[in-house]
Amino acid sequence: MTTVETQLSELRLHIGGEWVPAGGGETFDDPDPFTGELVARVPAGTREDARRAVEAAAAAFPEWSSAPPAVRQQVFLKAADILESRRDEVVSLLARETGCTFGFGLFQMGFVAGLLRQAAGTAYAAIGEIIPSDTGEFAMGIRRPAGVVGAIAPWNAALILSARSIGAPLVLGNTVVLKPSEHSPYVGGLLWGEVFAEAGLPPGVLSIVTHAPGEAGPIADELVENPHVRRLTFTGSTETGRLLAEAAGRNLKRVLLELGGYSPLIVLADADLQFAVDASTFGAFLHQGQICMSARRIIVERPIAARFIEQLARKASGLKTGDPKEHDTIIGPLITEKALETVKGRVEDAVSKGAKIVAGGEAVGPCFQATLLTDVPVSAELARVETFGPVAAIEVVDSSDEAIERANATAYGLASGVITNDADKGLELARRIQAGIVHVNEQPVGDEPQMPFGGVKDSGWGRFGGTAAIHEFTELQWVTVGRPHPYPS
């Protein structure tokens, strides 16, 4: 596979099936996070643009919601084929727009093609039920599309998380207005307008509104407050998710939240040491640790701790850091200079309070080395909040019970992992971990399109994926059919 340097022209919003400039005529620059070079000029959408997009979605809803499942399925199957035909181009743009390394770009492409095909089958899966009635009426629970869905997607796994936010809602008969991050307006947003238009999605069923940095608020406000919007999805920080949930509550709207994580990886004393080292490296440093499921804490039992730390530090120190367009790069740039400074500052704060660096610890241009720390005190910010970067803290414990106690000592509860040669013990520990996702004999970064993906505690509520998504993006309507009968006089 060769790198494809696609040059994006000045982009347009996708509203009601048309490519249009932002209502105010403003644009913003979308830079390459590694080189700083311009990737595209992007329309700086306004609240009025979002309102027009919602109105287009509302107008398209009656026809799309009544389209036969075969029609919706065929659109998704075509979209998967179209996306795969653009593989080299999209992988290149993932690197240029989000700093995504080659391996992670290929993974996203494969995952999303599968997600689209899995979603295609969901067109037939919104099955209701016949409910016994004591009145003699014929009673049914019918799954119906909810209406317009406002989808707010992040930049970090831009292709996967944008596809996930629109896939199930669309194939179940809803219409969608997508607001991508300002850091991934094309690969996490406007790309889908091109793909689905070519696949035959009717105009207005999917609209995409981009916005300038710092200007997400007005777009989100319109999605929350517009009465046509009946569902909201958000993937992002816990802080922003809490604000969105409060606003959605005031407007009596259901919202699916996939928020931050501080995912633990427990390595028990009976674990295969080489596998544990490899899994920890992958879980902590894939996409520079800019994944909500990344292993932020690696909790290892004392009998193997010294050997584990030595081997993990050696492996982390050997990971190539630099240009994500070079196919052997493992650690690419952080998304912005501000993100880099945040990671650097939290590592320095932890060290000043007694933590020890056993690998990495330095910025290299726009990148930060794969970094491992031990003895991180609870007073350090790194020990308490999600730090989006290639940094993991190692904790040594004396028992599996202590490992569980440490794993649960966080406000977050998204993903986790347990590595052990005793599968029964792994399952027993999994039941005690306070997380929406537990992988036994695997690191925390794992997902499949058909799985119920989501967290507990401050990591959000609701579930993406498979049959769980059907409950999120449909309404259950009770319908009865009776016969004339006498009423009390």
pLDDT digits (tens, 9 = 90+) for 269-280: 999 999 999 999
Which SS3 state, helix, strand or coil, does residue 256 take?
Answer: strand
Q: Is 475 a catalytic residue?
A: no
Average confidence (pLDDT) over 125-139: 94
Judged against a pLDDT cut of 90, whether residue 79 lies above it is answered with yes
Indicate which residue of 55, 222, 292, 367 is catalytic. 292
- Write down the mean pLDDT value for the chain: 96
Catalytic residue, candidates 55, 182, 222, 258 = 258
For the cut 60, the answer to whether the pLDDT of residue 471 exceeds it is yes
* Angstrom distance (rounded) from CA 64 to CA 78: 17
Nearest to 364 by CA among 101, 34, 96: 34
Instruction: Provide the token pair at 419.
Output: 């590595």
Q: Judging by DSSP bridges, how do beta strands 417-419 and 263-267 pair with one another?
A: parallel
Which single residue is written with the structure tokens 């644009």? 27
Nearest residue to 99 (alpha-carbon basis) of 89, 91, 111, 110: 91
Write down the residue that tokens 């944008």 correspond to.
Answer: 162
pLDDT category of residue 404 using cuts at 50, 70 and 90: very high
Mean pLDDT of 188-197: 98
The CA distance from 162 to 108, in Å, is 11
Query: Tokens 């740039």 belong to which residue?
Result: 333
Interacting residues of 15 by C-beta distance below 8 A, sequence separation 6+: 49, 52, 53, 56, 207, 208, 209
pLDDT band for 7, please (50, 70, 90 cuts): low
Residue 6 reports pLDDT greater than 80: no
- Of the candidates 331, 342, 327, 340, the residue with the CA atom closest to the CA atom of residue 282: 331
What's 453's DSSP letter? B
What backbone phi and psi angles, to 5 degrees, belong to 75?
Answer: -60, -45
Beta strand ranges found along 17-137 (DSSP E) = 18-20, 27-31, 38-43, 129-131
pLDDT in tens, 323-374: 999 999 999 999 999 999 999 999 999 999 999 999 999 999 999 999 999 9
Tell me, what's the pLDDT at 152?
A: 98
Q: Is the pLDDT of residue 2 over 70?
A: no
Q: Which residue type occupies 365?
A: G
- The model carries a pTM of 0.94
- pLDDT > 90: what percent of the chain? 96
Find the mean pLDDT for residues 176-184.
98
Taking alpha carbons only, the member of 409, 388, 315 closest to residue 345 is 388
Cα–Cα distance measured from residue 161 to residue 165, given in angstroms and rounded to the nearest whole number: 6
Q: Treating both helix axes as pointing N-terminal to C-terminal, what angle do 87-98 and 158-171 enclose, rounded to 10 degrees? A: 120
Answer whether residue 10 shows pLDDT above 90.
no
For range 38-46, the mean pLDDT: 97
The pLDDT value recorded for residue 3 is 45
Q: Which whole number is the average pLDDT over 121-132?
A: 95
Active-site annotation holds for 292: yes
